[in-house]
Amino acid sequence: MWFMLGFGIYGALMWYYLFHGADSALPVDLKGSAADPAMFMTDRELELSTDFSRIKDFLYFISVPLEWMIYLFVLGFGLSKWFRKASSGLTRFSIVHTAVYVLLLSFASWVLTFPLRYYSFTVSKSYNISVQSFHSWMRDGLVDFWISWALTTLMVGVMYWLIKKYEKRWWLFAWLLSIPFTVFLYFIQPVVIDPLYNKFYPLQDEALKEKILNIAEKAEIPAENVYEVNMSEKTNALNAYVNGIGSNLRIVLWDTTLNKLSDNQVLFVMAHEIGHYVMNHLYWNLISSIVLSFLGLWLGNIIYRKWIVKYGKTWGIKGVGDLAALPALLLIFSLLSFVVSPVENAVSRKAERDADQYAIQMTKNPEAAVGAFQQLATVSLSEVNPPKIVKWFLYGHPTMLERIHFLDSYNTGKTLDKEQLPY
């Protein structure tokens, strides 16, 4: 109950900060520059970008503690005990108990968060960012639900088996098993998971494909094709990426990006994505994920044990190996993830800046680079200079203000001092 009261006060303060108290004024020395949104957005677009960004930011900062409150609700009101009892009475196979328990917990969370997710969907529709039908949106949500349920069931089943077998060192064995599992997910995502949501096909523009593959060849990327994904039936936003590892590496462009950007702008965007590959950011992401999972499991185990000792009886939990304690473990992992996210985002922003510099050195076309980000900001209604808290917790990329200013002031012919180089 105290948490619910605190949640209400927090929501009110966050609303005031985002809609009235946050300072996102443009620095005086950048007014009238290419980074000034007034130079490439209409007054109406400026108004819409501010409103849309504030609403989406507020929904994020509300959704995170809402997840925590749901876990506490499930524990505090005895639902977790009921889920355990309902699942254990079906069969003697523990994996079935786990699957049913996770299904009940996931469904409860899905139902309780549905109003917020639906509101977020309607906001994107009303601001013409999303053009997705409700049927298509629900389909994607259900695909998300079942994929998450299957993966969570597998991980939880293994984790609680380890807790029962190696009570003190379960987290270490769980981490060791997570390494090949994480690598496997990185490998199969482009060819197994991504196609569940959208249609992928070879890029239709042969001339543009050849130009992109020429850049990839210069960068020594083992890519034989460029893929286009049909996102225009869902969104007006723009995106492109290089993902996967080994033989499953894929260069992907959203069709919205192809429709909205010129060829030179697309080439800059793709050079940026290729820069991630050249500088091994995909592998560094994999390594950092493995390192963070080690720290998270180690620290999470310590907190988990203390919570079970302190609150176990109140929650009706029999011990650390009780499946009914899963919401507590998920709550701990969510809290740790939230706390570490500003650090992860800062590292990610550095990598994105490196990729921007690589792309400008590769294409030597600052005008196309600046134009690409101006168009991206306009189409996506992105706030060019968001509040600091929003940047810390939500921005894995530099802000549009930072990116456009950097590219606009970058002279491809100058020699940078070592201290000026981002990598």
The per-residue pLDDT for 89 is: 76
CA distance 77 to 289: 34
Asked if residue 411 has pLDDT above 70, the reply is no
Q: Residue 248 in contact with residue 190, Cβ under 8 Å? A: yes
170-219 confidence digits (pLDDT tens): 999 999 999 998 888 888 888 888 888 888 888 889 999 898 888 888 88
Q: What's the mean per-residue pLDDT of the chain?
A: 90
Asked if residue 412 has pLDDT above 90, the reply is no
Of residues 142 and 251, more confidently modeled: 142
Q: Any binding-site annotation on 352?
A: yes
Q: Any binding-site annotation on 272?
A: yes
Asked if residue 419 has pLDDT above 50, the reply is no
38-88 confidence digits (pLDDT tens): 999 999 999 999 999 999 999 999 999 999 999 999 999 999 999 999 998
104-108, 149-153, 242-246: the lowest-pLDDT one? 242-246
For the chain, the three-class secondary structure string (H helix, E strand, C coil) is CHHHHHHHHHHHHHHHHHHHHCCCCCCHHHCCCCCCHHHCCCHHHHHHHHHHHHHHHHHHHHHHHHHHHHHHHHHHCCHHHHHHHHHHCCCCCHHHHHHHHHHHHHHHHHHHHHHHHHHHHHHHHHCCCECCCHHHHHHHHHHHHHHHHHHHHHHHHHHHHHHHHCCCCHHHHHHHHHHHHHHHHHHHHHHHHHHHCCCEEECCCHHHHHHHHHHHHHCCCCCCCEEEECCCCCECCCCEEEECCHHHCEEEEEHHHHHHCCHHHHHHHHHHHHHHHHCCHHHHHHHHHHHHHHHHHHHHHHHHHHHHHHHHHHHCCCCCCCHHHHHHHHHHHHHHHHHHHHHHHHHHHHHHHHHHHHHHHHHCCHHHHHHHHHHHHHHHCCCCCCCHHHHHHHCCCCCHHHHHHHHHCCCCCCCCCHHHCCC
Mean pLDDT of 154-166: 94
| Annotation marks residue 210 as catalytic | no
Angle between helices 170-188 and 281-315 (to 10 degrees): 140
Mean pLDDT of 249-270: 91
Share of the chain above pLDDT 70, in %: 96
Of these residues, 194, 273, 383, 402, which one is catalytic?
273
The per-residue pLDDT for 38 is: 93
331-380 confidence digits (pLDDT tens): 999 999 999 999 999 999 999 999 999 999 989 899 999 999 999 999 99
Mean pLDDT of 264-285: 90
Q: What is the pTM of this model?
A: 0.87
Confidence of residue 406 (pLDDT cuts 50, 70, 90): very high
Confidence of residue 415 (pLDDT cuts 50, 70, 90): very low
CA distance 52 to 58: 10
CA distance 402 to 400: 5
Of these residues, 36, 57, 228, 356, which one is catalytic?
356
Mean pLDDT of 402-418: 68
Mean pLDDT of 140-154: 95
Mean pLDDT of 2-9: 88
Asked if residue 423 has pLDDT above 50, the reply is no
Asked if residue 421 has pLDDT above 80, the reply is no
The per-residue pLDDT for 416 is: 38
The per-residue pLDDT for 414 is: 44
Asked if residue 422 has pLDDT above 50, the reply is no
Q: Residue 102 in contact with residue 153, Cβ under 8 Å? A: yes
Asked if residue 249 has pLDDT above 80, the reply is no
| Annotation marks residue 273 as catalytic | yes
231-255 burial code (b ≥16 CB/10 A, e <16): beebbbbbbbbbbbeeeebbbbbbb
12-16, 190-194, 273-277, 300-304: the lowest-pLDDT one? 190-194
